[in-house]
Amino acid sequence: MRVKVIGIPVQDQEIALQFYTEKLGFIKKHDVPLSENNRWLTVVSKEEQFGTEILLEPSPNHFEPAKTYQKALFEAGIPYTQFNVDNIGEEYNRLINLGVEFSMKPTEMGTVKIAILNDTCGNNIQLIEML
């Protein structure tokens, strides 16, 4: 068994695609129309183009529990998921220069350093560097 796709709920797929590719540096893998307003839209790491795909999944406006959960996580400052980086200081500076907002600057916590950013699509994303 392997993990092939993980989903991240996003409020607007086009804004999410721009953020995840232009700011975070992922590349678009699949973009398949499903309905008038929804797509099967995935991005992958440039370093692992055949690795796990991130599905930029439309946050369902018609399903209130999902909206409530996403909003509650965001407001509590809890990351929806995390991405590993080799050097969190360099990545933090690169993203700050691109206008990315962070709720937590790089902080050492035992055997890791973490930072938390706002993905502009309703989620906090944690970056982590293993020390």
Q: Which pLDDT score, from 0 to 100, does residue 59 have?
A: 83
- Structure letter (DSSP) for residue 86: S
Q: Which pLDDT score, from 0 to 100, does residue 23 have?
A: 98
- Fold classification of 5-130 is 2,3-Dihydroxybiphenyl 1,2-Dioxygenase; domain 1 (3.10.180)
Q: Which pLDDT score, from 0 to 100, does residue 74 have?
A: 97
Confidence class of residue 101 from pLDDT cuts 50, 70 and 90? very high
Span 67-93, mean pLDDT?
96
Q: Which pLDDT score, from 0 to 100, does residue 12 have?
A: 92
Q: Which pLDDT score, from 0 to 100, does residue 33 have?
A: 95
Span 84-92, mean pLDDT?
98
Confidence class of residue 127 from pLDDT cuts 50, 70 and 90? very high
**How confident is the model over 33-47, as pLDDT tens digits?**
998 888 999 999 999
Give the type of residue at 79.
P
Q: Please state, in angstroms and rounded to a whole number, the distance separating the CA atoms of residues 29 and 37.
A: 19
For residues 6 and 54, the answer to whether their CB atoms sit within 8 Å is: yes
- The structural domains of the chain, with segments of one domain joined by +, span 5-130
- To which H or E segment does residue 31 belong? strand 27-33
For residues 44 and 53, the answer to whether their CB atoms sit within 8 Å is: yes
Span 12-17, mean pLDDT?
96
Q: What three-state secondary structure class fits 79?
A: coil
